[in-house]
Structure 1
């Protein structure tokens, strides 16, 4: 039988989602907890990678188990009791065998948070950028992304992505008090893409680049001409969309104001 896990995690102390030798990862933590409860090895398949220090609000994974889990709510409660406080299981549901946490996904939403003042309580969750910025320029930069199809300039060098074409459906900046938030939804994302986009838009906002220069960086399809990647702690994988009858993931409900997507 195949089961889907929905979860969220604080990525500060992890080397990303994907299991790696000699590295502390979210996938390894959850697999170990599942193995303890189910008393057998578990191969957990996640919706995709997240980089070191990056967080997830609404993440999905699946695993196969030759048995029935009679009470998903009790199972989740027990699983949360084993896992560290930085990982929270939202739900467990039985799904058809053709469901795939990664390949069945039709969209993903990321958010990036910038704290405009020094705030020790937001430090693990937002990039603390207190230099002068122009919010209107950020908004204008984001508008260009919905008109873009090839994001090669914002893909980590050396990545084997197959294609650099992504269909962005929404890209916008909002302000909520001292937190500025960038939200972007697309059918797929390239490795390091969101952080590279934010870093490039900050070049426009602080006056180092014109909007035309940002457009040139997009059109060049050359990573060396785009801006530096923004810091990882401000990035969240917010939600993942799936086709009917599977619901999209939903963010963990108890979040500080300004972090909800």
Structure 2
């Protein structure tokens, strides 16, 4: 029987996990899914995700691929896999893809949203950043627009990282306010580790008046993480969209 490659569409609440990637002596989203798949399919299964979210970060849309020798029926598969997974991880879909399709390298666009709440909200405690001080969203959007004209984001990257370059092509970056919630939307071809949280932390300093738009621009040009502000908490960050060319699907 031929080995087939499948894509999983996944969502998870990252509060109880040490990020996406499997680690020794730590509970990860990847590890939980691999364990459930291995039980269901009665063979060891390794998955590859579209990207690695950090400890405490969530996803409303994440993808991963795995190889399996056999035909899988989506309806029956989804019912069984979701019964084996913890309550804070869900698989939404299963699709067969071409052998060369890759969850990480075939992805062309990724989007994140960061959630800030301006009042205490019991139901969002683990899913947003409660910000006590007033923020000027117009100033934050003026600074956010500068991201679109920049390509090197070393200033917002973790210092110890294994990437070959710090280039990213940001396609959109803006804040919107809906009642007591501030949402930061950002879309790019790729993201560096810790990048979105570092951007949000620096933009909130702009919104508070601690940093000017000119200073934000100089931080971008500095290529120095020490110049940027502290990172925003992980709990407000969601990976929300990953886009692939349609021709990879069967």
Normalised to the residue count of structure 2, the TM-score between the two structures is 0.97
Residue 123 of structure 1 corresponds to which residue in structure 2?
125
Match of 1:41 among 40, 44, 49: 44
Residue 250 of structure 1 corresponds to which residue in structure 2?
none
Match of 1:72 among 54, 71, 74: 74
Following superposition, the deviation at residue 72 of structure 1 comes to 1.0
Normalised to the residue count of structure 1, the TM-score between the two structures is 0.93
Match of 1:221 among 213, 220, 223: 223
Alignment of 1:85-96 (within 5 A): 85-96=87-98
Following superposition, the deviation at residue 173 of structure 1 comes to 0.6
Counterpart CA distance in 2 for 1:44 and 1:94 is 14
Say whether the 8 Å CA contact 2:98–2:248 is kept in structure 1: no
Counterpart CA distance in 1 for 2:207 and 2:173 is 16
Counterpart CA distance in 1 for 2:172 and 2:209 is 24
Counterpart CA distance in 2 for 1:158 and 1:211 is 27
Write the deviation string for residues 177-217 of structure 1: whole angstroms up to 9, x where unpaired: 11100000000000100000000001111011111111110
Structure 1 runs of 4+ with >2 Å offset: 244-247
Alignment of 1:166-205 (within 5 A): 166-205=168-207
Cα RMSD over matched residues? Answer: 0.9
Counterpart CA distance in 2 for 1:45 and 1:19 is 10
Aligned-partner SS, 2:36: helix
Say whether the 8 Å CA contact 2:34–2:45 is kept in structure 1: yes
Residue 100 of structure 1 corresponds to which residue in structure 2?
102
Counterpart CA distance in 1 for 2:123 and 2:247 is 39
Counterpart CA distance in 1 for 2:157 and 2:183 is 21
Mind listing any 5+ residue stretches in structure 1 that lack a counterpart? 248-261
Name whichever structure is richer in helix by fraction: 2
Write the deviation string for residues 67-108 of structure 1: whole angstroms up to 9, x where unpaired: 111x21110111001111100100011111001000001110
Mind listing any 5+ residue stretches in structure 2 that lack a counterpart? none
Counterpart CA distance in 1 for 2:135 and 2:64 is 38
Match of 2:210 among 208, 211, 214: 208
Residue 30 of structure 2 corresponds to which residue in structure 1?
27
Match of 2:243 among 235, 241, 244: 241
Counterpart CA distance in 2 for 1:3 and 1:160 is 28
Counterpart CA distance in 2 for 1:40 and 1:197 is 42
Following superposition, the deviation at residue 36 of structure 1 comes to 0.8
Counterpart CA distance in 1 for 2:55 and 2:79 is 27
Aligned-partner SS, 1:159: coil
Counterpart CA distance in 1 for 2:89 and 2:210 is 39
Following superposition, the deviation at residue 245 of structure 1 comes to 2.3
Residue 251 of structure 1 corresponds to which residue in structure 2?
none
